Amino acid sequence: MLDYPIRRRAFLALPAVTLLVSACSTFSGIPRDKLPLTSSALKHLSEIGASAASPMLVRIFKESSELEVWRQSTSGDYQLFRTYRICKWSGTLGPKFAEGDGQAPEGFYTVTPGMMNPNSRLYLSFNTGFPNKYDRAYGRTGSNLMVHGDCRSVGCYAMTDEQIREIYGLARDAFAAGNPSFALEMYPFRMTEQNLQKHADSPFLGFWQNLKEGYDLFETQRWPASWDVCEGRYVFNVVVPSGQTLEPLAACPAPATTQL
């Protein structure tokens, strides 16, 4: 048993420890979700012809464990800002089907300001938007599928705290500048013909070939394709007549034309 003087010294040290933990969690009084982008990040944005206010795109590739952040440049196209190594993702290659299957999703999603979580128990996070219109059409279920910090995952994409702090800050500043959303594209791998051939025996091949359509549009035009769902598949850059909406399992309505 500790004698009184030692117990007293431990007690007196406790406030200092508490203050240290508090300072670390708020970074000298600034909440982690409000930490400004570093001068290095701002410099790199400028080098690619973008700014903290520029529109944003995030792409994820499971097989290579990569997360890319792209920003729109002053020339109008999107430039790669940075590629981050995903710390951990769960499941296997292929889409998510059901709540609790431990599978990270694949597909096309839209992230809005309300999907940002500054109070995440996993440092910082944003919701992927799963299930989207496509997922719901096939009865797929799941909730709280996030991109977050803390480097642990059950159905999510986990980054290091340092990585998510920068990614979160990039999204936050884009929203603060008036951008209503950013595109989130999640793939099993880079959608090349070689990779599809490598996985040609997968039951998900048809799904992945559909994802490749949107992937290829970005690769050629350097602009995120708009997407919707009809005929049970993703369709891209489709103009829908005024007052009409696409039904996910119905035929695509005519005249639906592709934007140039």
Residues taking part in catalysis? 148, 156
Pairing of strands 56-61, 182-187: parallel
Query: Which among 81, 140, 72, 138 is positioned nearest to 105, based on CA atoms?
Result: 140
Q: What is the mean pLDDT of each run of 10 residues along the chain (260 residues)?
A: 34 35 54 97 98 98 98 97 97 96 97 97 97 98 96 92 98 98 98 98 98 98 96 94 88 62
Backbone angles phi, psi at 4, to 5 degrees: -60, -45
Q: What is the per-residue pLDDT for 2?
A: 35
Q: What is the per-residue pLDDT for 184?
A: 98
Q: What is the per-residue pLDDT for 260?
A: 47
Tokens representing residue 47 in the block: 């080098």
Contact 84, 66 (CB under 8 A): yes
Separation of alpha carbons 104 and 88, rounded Å = 10
Residues 6+ apart with CB under 8 A from 200: none
Separation of alpha carbons 62 and 195, rounded Å = 13
Note the Cα 123 to chain centre separation in Å: 15
Residues 6+ apart with CB under 8 A from 179: 53, 55, 56
The residues spanned by each domain of the chain are 4-30, 39-223, 226-260
- Superfamily (CATH H level) for 39-223: L,D-transpeptidase catalytic domain-like (2.40.440.10)
Backbone angles phi, psi at 171, to 5 degrees: -65, -45
Q: What is the per-residue pLDDT for 226?
A: 96
Q: Using one digit for the tens of pLDDT, what is the confidence trace for 80-106? A: 999 999 999 999 999 999 999 999 999
